[in-house]
Amino acid sequence: MNELLTTTLVITAISVVLALILTLANKYLADYGKVKITINKEKEYEVDGGSSLLSSLVGQGIFIPSACGGKGSCGYCKVKVLNGAGPVLATEKPWLSKEELNDKVRLSCQVKVRNDIEIQIPEELFNVREYETTLVKRDLVTDKIAHVRFELPEGETINFKPGQFMQIKAPEYAGTDEFEGNDEEVFRAYSIASSIKDTKHVEFLIGYEKGACSTYIHKVLKEGDKVMINGPYGDFYYHDDDADTILLVAAGTGFAPIRSILYHMRDQDIKKKTRFFFGARTPADLPLVDEMEQFEKDLADFKFIPTLSRTKPEHHWEGDTGHVDDSIDKYVDGEGKYSCYLCGNPKMIASIVEALHKKNIPDDRIFFDEF
């Protein structure tokens, strides 16, 4: 009996000592104290060490694109780290090209801030903010695409460039018979579809893909609900350059940034010849056709050219059929100076770029947003 008691006491004592060591190690080894983040060699922020670079920056009101919520699975949160990051982790490598690795680019969600760190980010990211918006309108513009309009909080405004995107936060929500629930906060990127002149609102075109964020927008949200949105982001936007012809090319929700560009052209009274090639399957997949007809009246020389790939006789479709690259081949003569803005999936972008090359339009006149 005495032996059993002694053994129990020894085991308990060892456990207590181990717990104490762990607590002390946590306190003294994992406590990195205050560390300094220097941005673009001029701005300095003092933060508590130990968190990821991404969350330390968010804590200072600096938002970096991050569609996976910091799990290292979207590759959006790239930041150039000049000093103090430690070695590149295995979780980062699949997302970084050889050039990016040489250029000290890192995934900010995977880099821990344990000591002073020096980073470089595009100046525009200082303009990125988080807004608690209110959903004021949601309409279906095709079977699958919702046109949503959010109002910014009283007294707040947003400045963005036509073509840029924002991130919408989907919180946790319960599932129903109709859709699955979401058990973690996620951010998803969506191009802004509205005019840059409307600084009190942002609009998006959101396709229903049964993902956490598209389900939230299509099925969970109700008008009047609050929604967290941060941005703007992105280097895809309209440039006022020396082009005499603007080609806009999109499919699906790639319609959104093109709509914002068209509003900009109308608001700024830009008179350049402009053609919008839009690829869809059937007439029912064409969003906001009335608006496009109105732009044809409002803009100096604009034509909306939808091209449908799956028409049937009962559709009575009299427009172009096939793929968008066929329409580019048919309507673009390759004369003059072009600027081309492309939005769609990587496969579609690749075939459009090839079609534009055949018209002798060089890469430096082609801007695209792949998603």
* Interacting residues toward ligand FES by CB under 6 A: 66-68, 70, 72-77, 107, 109
We find the least distance from the C-beta atom of residue 69 to ligand FES, in angstroms, to be: 7
Q: Cβ of residue 224: shortest distance to ligand FES, in angstroms?
A: 30
Q: How far is the CB of 82 from ligand FES (least distance, A)?
A: 19
Closer of 152 and 186 to ligand FES (Cβ): 186
How far is the CA of 347 from the CAs of 141, 225, 305, 353, 370, in angstroms?
25, 36, 20, 10, 9
Between 76 and 216, whose beta carbon lies closer to ligand FES?
76
- CA 283 – CA 69 distance, rounded (Å): 37
Residue 22: which of 14, 11, 34, 32 has the closest Cα?
14
CA–CA gap between residue 94 and residue 74 (Å, rounded):
10
State the nearest-atom distance from the C-beta of 273 to ligand FES, in Å: 40
* Cβ contact 40:121 at 8 Å: yes
Give how far Cα 40 sits from Cα of 36, 123, 126, 138, Å.
13, 8, 11, 40
Tokens at residue 86, please? 């430690």
Q: In this complex, which beta carbon is closest to ligand FES, that of residue 234 or of residue 279? A: 234
Q: How far apart are CA 84 and CA 113, in angstroms?
A: 8
Question: Which residue number is nearest to ligand FES in terms of Cβ?
Answer: 109
51 vs 70: CA distance, rounded Å: 11
Closest CB 336 distance from ligand FES, rounded Å? 41
- 353: its two tokens: 């770029």
Among residues 94 and 175, whose Cβ is nearest to ligand FES? 94
CA end-to-end distance (rounded Å), the chain: 71
Choice between 109 and 145, CB closer to ligand FES: 109
Phi then psi for residue 250, to 5 deg, are -155, 165
Joined together, the tokens standing for residue 365 give 């006149």
Residue 78 or 147: the one with the smaller Cβ distance to ligand FES is: 78
Q: Between 74 and 361, whose beta carbon lies closer to ligand FES?
A: 74
Nearest approach, Cβ of residue 24 and ligand FES (Å): 32
CB of 106 to ligand FES, least distance (A): 10
Cα–Cα nearest to 127, from 91, 93, 166: 166
Amino acid identity of residue 353, one-letter, is: V
Q: Which is nearer to ligand FES, 168 or 324 (CB)?
A: 168
Output Rg (C-alpha) for the chain, integer angstroms. 26
Shortest separation between residue 370's beta carbon and ligand FES, angstroms: 17
Q: 70: how many CB neighbours lie within 10 A of its CB?
A: 18
